Amino acid sequence: MKARLIALALLAAAPASLAHAGGPVAIARPELHAAASLQVSSTAFAPGGPIPMDQSGYGRNISPVLNWSAGPPGTKAYALLVEDPDAPGAEPTVHWLAYDIPADVRALPRGVRNQAELKRPEGMKQGANYHGSVGYSGPRPPAGDPPHHYHFQVFALDRPLKLRPGADRDAVLRAMRGHVLAAGELVGAFALPPPKPPRR
């Protein structure tokens, strides 16, 4: 409980100027604009709330439960991007990239395996994260940084992307152009709590 209160205080103290330091996240790009919206949620954290340590690179590095509402008629697949625009660099840091998620899937369970192609859900592929490996790579901002914000973005598409497993962000964004029917996001934040003062 105490750690959660510290995390919430850090979020409140985050400077507004930090937002989108690394360029726009995928959902904010004009070429991926969608006329309809998806509702994205998680049982692991509330919108704008702190992401648990277990889901971070400092903890067990396991992906959180993720749920979304159904896409509009014509939805054939979903894509997922998790990006941190507060990291330095020209583009947001990619923490998770998944595509060809079947149209009848509305949720991903906790702890999705870091495999390039999955059997559950069948056909879902995962792309490269910022480490160059595939699958989920949780928040790991440098110690002392203000909270970074992690955008869990889901896109309803009118076709599967049909990219090979392990595709990178640029390939996925190119393939999605002109095929986004709806989109939504859930934003969580993460920062390391300050070190405990030494006992006297």
The token duo for 61 is 């590095």
Classify the C-alpha dihedral 29-32-33-37 as positive or negative.
Answer: negative
User: Can you give the pLDDT at residue 28?
Assistant: 96
In the block, tokens 């509702």 appear at 39
User: Can you give the pLDDT at residue 197?
Assistant: 74
pTM of the model: 0.87
What's the rounded Cα separation, in Å, for the pair 166 and 132? 9
Query: Going from the N-terminus, what domains does the chain have, and what CATH number goes with each?
Result: 2-190 (3.90.280.10)
pLDDT tens-digit series, residues 133-186: 999 999 999 999 999 999 999 999 999 998 999 999 999 999 999 999 999 999
User: Can you give the pLDDT at residue 20?
Assistant: 46
Confidence of residue 64 (pLDDT cuts 50, 70, 90): very high
User: Which residues neighbour 21 within 8 Å (Cβ) at sequence distance 6 or greater?
Assistant: 85, 86, 87, 88
pLDDT tens-digit series, residues 93-146: 999 999 999 999 999 999 999 999 998 899 999 999 999 999 999 999 999 999
